[in-house]
């Protein structure tokens, strides 16, 4: 269940509360990505200390490894990974289309070869919901067909209509609806008329929430913003809106400003493993020479364990010496930065000063990036 609490008086940014059986989530929110049942390099205790409200995991990866039998025996994905708060699971559709060695998409479902061992599998939309039902996900995503940019309109339309068909079939699968929500995914590539058709027919199915899929797949930034703006305008106000796979802080703030509620992205930990940190004054590459004798914290305005205890100089040393602690500490900081950013965004919306916050943040962040 989703409750809309407040909309900023000077923008379309909004505060909400997403209610699940495992706890309430204040929105706008960011979901750290734990693709394989773990947010890379970080423990659940560290995520709790960073005040993560919800994690995202991936059905495709968990189906392949460790396999559903192991997770069923554990009782749920929550039990398996020792995480007590909510989990959203992606269907794995994007991973099938981007990672699988070979794939064949048809109306019944998707045949693909595992990127791990090359074994062939076939999954229907019904299978994907059943997998997530067994995972014990609090929020499930149906199988959809995601196309890359650029994409011919006839191909995008076929994928969009297949996504709608799979959405109908997914809704028909029995699940404990009071504890497992199912979101619909809006597709249609960069074609506004296809997006409108998809929204119109998806709303007739009455999902628990709606996700904007098929963005951040190579399209120019202006097209991405146009599509997000269009879709959000046509979605119901009383349902949560989830922008899949986005993004960097600038993209998140722009999307919050038009009314998006939920985000996920691998950027914080992926950048962290490569030695790039997000700070209140912009993005820095801590491996670089200027930080050799810089004994200040990564971000003087940050209260995470990394910034409380370690210097830029030490972090640079760890990363360049290929010590695992280095990538762990920078990843931890980046996750904390993202979650703290969302908290500050929520406070600004509550005080009807989101537009001012957005300008101040982007002016400072972009000038240093």
Between strands 103-105 and 181-186, the pairing is unpaired
Neighbouring C-alpha atoms within 13 Å toward the C-beta of 337: 30
Is residue 264 part of the annotated active site? The answer reads yes
Cβ proximity of 336 and 39 under 8 Å: no
Catalytic member of 8, 90, 138, 251: 90
Q: Residue 341 contacts by C-beta under 8 Å, 6 or more apart in sequence?
A: 30, 249, 252, 361
Cβ proximity of 205 and 184 under 8 Å: yes
Q: Residue 19 contacts by C-beta under 8 Å, 6 or more apart in sequence?
A: 1, 2, 3, 25
Strands (E), 163-289: 181-186, 209-212, 241-243, 262-265, 276-279, 282-285
Output the six-digit token pair for 93.
């559709």
Output the six-digit token pair for 263.
């985000």
Catalytic member of 8, 138, 261, 264: 264
Output the six-digit token pair for 277.
């940190």
User: CA 208, 72, 58, 165 torsion: positive or negative?
Assistant: negative
Catalytic residues, by residue number, are 90, 264
């Amino acid at each position: 269940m989703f409750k809309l609490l407040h909309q900023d008086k000077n923008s379309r940014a909004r505060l909400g509360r997403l209610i699940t059986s495992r706890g309430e989530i204040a929105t706008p929110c960011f979901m750290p990505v734990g693709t394989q049942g773990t947010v890379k390099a970080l423990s659940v205790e560290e995520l709790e200390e960073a005040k993560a409200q919800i994690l995202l995991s991936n059905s495709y990866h968990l189906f392949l490894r460790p396999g559903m039998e192991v997770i069923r025996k554990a009782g749920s994905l929550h039990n398996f990974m020792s995480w007590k708060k909510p989990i959203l699971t992606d269907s794995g559709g994007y991973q099938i289309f981007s990672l699988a060695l070979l794939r064949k998409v048809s109306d019944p479902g998707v045949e693909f070869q595992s990127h791990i061992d090359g074994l062939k599998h076939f999954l229907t939309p019904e299978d994907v919901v059943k997998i997530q039902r067994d995972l014990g996900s609090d929020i499930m995503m149906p199988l959809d067909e995601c196309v890359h940019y650029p994409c011919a309109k006839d191909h995008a339309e076929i994928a969009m209509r297949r996504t709608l068909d799979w959405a109908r079939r997914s809704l028909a699968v029995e699940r404990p609806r009071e504890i497992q929500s199912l979101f619909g995914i809006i597709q249609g590539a960069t074609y506004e008329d296809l997006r409108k058709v998809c929204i119109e027919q998806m709303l007739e199915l009455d999902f628990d929430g709606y996700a904007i899929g098929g963005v951040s797949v190579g399209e120019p930034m202006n097209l991405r913003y146009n599509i997000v703006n269009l879709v959000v305008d046509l979605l119901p106000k009383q349902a949560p809106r989830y922008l899949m796979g986005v993004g960097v802080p600038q993209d998140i703030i722009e999307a919050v400003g038009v009314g998006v509620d939920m985000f996920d992205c691998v950027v914080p930990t992926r950048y962290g493993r490569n030695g790039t940190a997000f700070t209140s004054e912009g993005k820095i590459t801590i491996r670089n020479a200027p930080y050799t004798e810089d004994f200040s914290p990564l971000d003087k305005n940050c209260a995470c364990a990394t910034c409380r205890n370690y210097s830029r100089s030490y972090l640079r040393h760890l990363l360049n010496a290929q010590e695992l602690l280095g990538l762990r500490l920078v990843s931890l900081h980046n996750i904390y930065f993202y979650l703290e950013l969302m908290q500050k965004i929520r406070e600004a919306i509550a005080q009807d000063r989101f537009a001012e916050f957005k300008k101040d943040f982007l002016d400072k962040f972009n000038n240093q990036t």
